[in-house]
């Protein structure tokens, strides 16, 4: 049997619609703040859905991004670089000129859609190819966050970019875990970033009938597991964590949020957008992650659910949880109820929430759970709830049937 290094979370960086920086973000969660409102970034008259979760207080220079560099970065890259910088600062890592044992795995579900949309408009309106920015490709390419984080912090280790739709952030963490567990690297800066609040994305998702149309009640629009849920809300932002070999973390006396003790990924092989209604592979991912951790369902103290607020996804996830956990009514909540769906950044932001929840021993709330759905039947937590959190699970599922489940455990030495 291969000897595996243990992997711990030692730094958290969050850029979200309810707060940038882990402390502001956590405080907003505890205050049950919603970052969902009417979209201000573009004119929405005529749009079926006019709500989103925008970040309205972001200035790239506040996170060490030079103004000239910011102009050559899509917004998703700016968010990812900022979150990575925050995570590295939070971890207390002392980085040198070159860091061969430190890598980056920061993914995105879609990439630089804002840049692509803007530059296409320039070409169409001007009818002049010379008007298109020479930086279009490096601005929209999905690996731009990895590249800039590596350049800024001189990280010369591995740097793959994953794109697994809404499960991207969790996939990134899991693949980072594997690289550290096998001893290839000591530290990996990992997570996801997304910024797709654009006219084209809002139109496409709405025409797909995936978005909530509760335009007259933005704060109440995202209601995971509630009987009256009617679609997800597009959010934006980035979640990045520092994952570290336990021995490396202990040697520098690092603060440890949690240990990642189990994980699993698989694919429904069912449909390009809809989840398997039988949730067969979701159940398998949950069980496989627990098996890797050497734990049983009754050991889990809290689940941060994927909880998108769509009819089909919530129903299939709930079915998987009920069938795996049985009479153990494990507490469940969804961070998306406050910040919307961050697509490629969702899983990593939610992993950060799990780490902070374990540190503070508080279950974060789920907003807008008002009318129980008999087809759901979960123990949804509506208020910040102090609890003994020793084992926490994080679920992420994405278009294409990509499933990722992680099990985190409180590190006690």
| Residue 177 falls in the annotated catalytic set | no
Tell me how long the chain is: 413
Catalytic residue among 222, 341, 354, 402: 341
Residues 11/90, Cβ–Cβ less than 8 Å: yes
List the catalytic residue out of 153, 248, 306, 402: 306
Residue ranges in 92-207 assigned as alpha helix (H): 113-126, 136-140, 144-153, 168-181, 199-207
Q: What tokens were used for 411? A: 């590190």
Active site residue 222: no
Contacts of 76 (CB under 8 A, 6+ apart): 108, 111, 112, 113, 114, 144, 145, 193, 194, 195, 196, 236, 238
**306 is a catalytic site residue:** yes
What are the tokens at 398?
A: 């994405």
**Nearest residue to 238 (alpha-carbon basis) of 113, 363, 346:** 346
- Taking the alpha carbons at both ends of the chain, their separation in whole angstroms is 24
Q: Which one from 166, 177, 222, 354 is the annotated catalytic residue?
A: 166
Residue entry with tokens 């336990």 = 246
Tell me the backbone φ, ψ of residue 133, rounded to 5 degrees: -65, 135
Q: Which two tokens stand for residue 404?
A: 């990722």
> Looking at the annotation, which residues are catalytic?
166, 306, 341
């Amino acid at each position: 049997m291969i000897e595996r290094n243990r992997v711990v979370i030692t730094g958290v960086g969050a850029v979200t619609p309810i707060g940038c920086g882990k402390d502001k973000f956590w405080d907003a969660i505890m205050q049950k703040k919603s970052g969902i409102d009417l979209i201000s970034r573009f004119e929405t008259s005529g749009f079926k859905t006019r709500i989103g979760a925008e970040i309205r207080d972001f200035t790239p220079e506040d996170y060490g991004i030079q103004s000239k560099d910011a102009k050559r970065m899509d917004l998703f890259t700016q968010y990812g670089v900022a979150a990575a910088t925050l995570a590295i600062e939070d971890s207390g890592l002392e980085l040198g000129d070159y860091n061969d044992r430190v890598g980056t795995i920061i993914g995105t579900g879609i990439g630089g859609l804002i840049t692509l949309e803007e530059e296409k408009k320039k070409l169409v309106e001007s009818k002049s190819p010379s008007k298109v920015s020479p930086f279009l490709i490096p601005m929209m390419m999905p690996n731009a966050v990895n590249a800039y984080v590596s350049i800024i912090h001189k990280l010369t280790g591995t740097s793959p970019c994953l794109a697994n739709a809404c499960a991207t952030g969790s996939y990134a963490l899991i693949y980072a875990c594997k690289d550290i567990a096998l001893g290839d690297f000591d530290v990996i800066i990992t997570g996801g970033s997304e910024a797709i609040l654009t006219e084209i994305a809002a139109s496409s998702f709405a025409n797909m009938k995936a978005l909530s149309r509760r335009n007259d009640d933005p704060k109440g629009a995202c209601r995971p597991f509630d009987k009256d849920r009617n679609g997800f809300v597009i959010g934006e932002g980035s979640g990045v964590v520092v994952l570290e070999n336990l021995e490396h973390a202990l040697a520098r006396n690092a603060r440890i949020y949690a240990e990642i003790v189990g994980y699993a990924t698989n694919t429904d092989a069912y449909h390009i957008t809809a989840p398997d209604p039988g949730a067969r592979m979701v159940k398998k991912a949950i069980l496989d992650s627990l098996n890797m951790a050497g734990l049983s369902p009754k050991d889990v103290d809290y689940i941060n659910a994927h909880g998108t607020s769509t009819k089909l996804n919530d129903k299939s996830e709930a079915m998987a949880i009920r069938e795996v956990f049985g009479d153990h009514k494990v507490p469940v909540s969804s961070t998306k109820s406050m910040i919307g769906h961050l697509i490629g950044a969702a899983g990593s932001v939610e992993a950060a929430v799990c780490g902070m929840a374990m540190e503070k021993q508080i279950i974060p709330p789920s907003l807008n759970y008002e009318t129980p759905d008999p087809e759901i039947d979960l123990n949804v937590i509506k208020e910040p709830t102090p609890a003994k959190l020793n084992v926490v699970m994080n679920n992420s599922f994405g278009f294409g049937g990509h499933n990722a489940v992680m099990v985190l455990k409180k590190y006690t030495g």
